[in-house]
Amino acid sequence: MQEKELKRYEEIGNWDFSDIKYTVEQESSWDFYKKIAKYAKPNSLILDLGTGGGEKALAQMPDVGMIIGTDFSPAMIETANKNKEKFPNKNIKFVTMDNLNMKFPDNLFDIVSARHTIIDAKQIYNCLAKEGILIVEGVDKYDCWELKKLFGRGQAYNDEIAISQKDYNDIKNAGFSEVNLQEIIQYEYYKTKEYLLALLLKTPILDDFSELEPDKNIHRNFVEGDLFDKYVKEHTTEKGIELKRVLYGIVAKK
C-alpha cells in the first residue's frame, strides 16, 4: 500500500494548495492550528505528521522550541524545504518519514499533530511525553458527498465504518486517557471551475479510495468532464462553486 501511495505522491510532486482560490464558511468552532496554539508552550517540541508541502505548518504553526514536519514522500519534503526559504526565522525541520514506521524515541514530543493523513495511534502514544497532546484533523466518510454520489465513487465512499470512528477507537485503545471527537462542517466556495478541478486532481476525493482497505485503492488521474460540468452547474452560487466538506477533529491527552 505504501509503495503505491508513494508513487502517486511522487508523480504529483507539487502539493502546495496555496494557488487554489476559494473561501471557507465553517459551521463548527474547530480550528486545527488554534488547537495546537492552545496547548503549545514557548519550549514545546511538536511533531507534525503528513506535513505535505509544509506551507500550512510554516504559516500557521505557533513559534515554539522546535517543529519537526514529516512526510513519507521525498518530493513533498523537497517542496517543504523550498517553502521554508520564505520563513527563515521559523524553527522547523522537514524530514522524510513513514507515519506507520516512526523513528523517534519514546516520551519525546509535547504535541503531535496530524492533518489529513494516516496515523498509528500506538506509535504516537509511545513518542508523546507524559500528558502530551495529540491533535488530529481528518476527512470523514460523508465529505463532498453530493460530488461522490454523482460520480459513484470517492474517498471512503464504500467504507462501512467512518474513519472518524475508526481513529477514535484506535486512539482510545492505544491508551490515551482523554479523547474528544468533534464533527466539522464547512462550505468551500471555489472562484472558478479550474480551481475546483485542481483540487480534485491533487487529492483522493474522487479516487476509489478506502480508508479501511487501502490495498484496494485505485488512483485516477482524470475527472470525467460531463459529470464535473453537471456538478459545477448545479452548485454554482453567488459565492462561487459550493463544496460541502465533512471533517472531524480529535484532541487526545496521554
The answer to whether 80 touches 69, Cβ cutoff 8 Å, is: yes
Of the candidates 33, 93, 53, 87, the one whose C-alpha atom is nearest the C-alpha of residue 69 is: 93
What is residue 9's predicted lDDT score, i.e. its pLDDT? 46
The residue ranking higher by pLDDT, 196 or 220, is: 196
Q: Whole-angstrom Cα distance, residue 33 to residue 28?
A: 14
**Integer angstrom CA distances of residue 77 from 57, 82, 234:** 12, 9, 38
Segment holding 186, helix H or strand E: strand 178-190
155 confidence band (pLDDT: 50, 70, 90): confident
Cell numbers for 68: 519537526
CA–CA separation, 94 vs 139, rounded Å? 24
State the average pLDDT over residues 177-203.
Answer: 93
Q: How many CA atoms lie within 13 A of 219 on its CB side?
A: 18
**pTM score of the predicted model:** 0.85
> What is the average pLDDT across 214-224?
67
For each of the domains in the chain, give its residue range(s) and CATH number, in order of start.
Answer: 2-253 (3.40.50.150)
Whether the Cβ atoms of residue 157 and residue 175 lie closer than 8 Å to each other: no
pLDDT of residue 124: 98
CA proximity to 245, closest of 203, 209, 192, 213: 203
Q: Report the sign of the C-alpha dihedral through residues 127, 132, 137, 142, in that order.
A: positive
Grid cell locating 7:
508513487
Position with higher pLDDT, 74 vs 213 = 74
Per DSSP, 208 falls in state B
Q: How confident is the model at residue 220 (pLDDT cuts 50, 70, 90)?
A: low
pLDDT in tens, 82-133: 999 999 999 999 999 999 999 899 999 999 999 999 899 999 999 999 999 9
What mean pLDDT comes out for the span 38-66?
Answer: 96
Which has more confidence, 11 or 233? Answer: 233
Provide the mean pLDDT of the chain: 90
To which H or E segment does residue 24 belong? strand 22-26
Q: Which of 115, 117, 249, 247 is nearest to 187 (CA)?
A: 247
For range 178-193, the mean pLDDT:
96
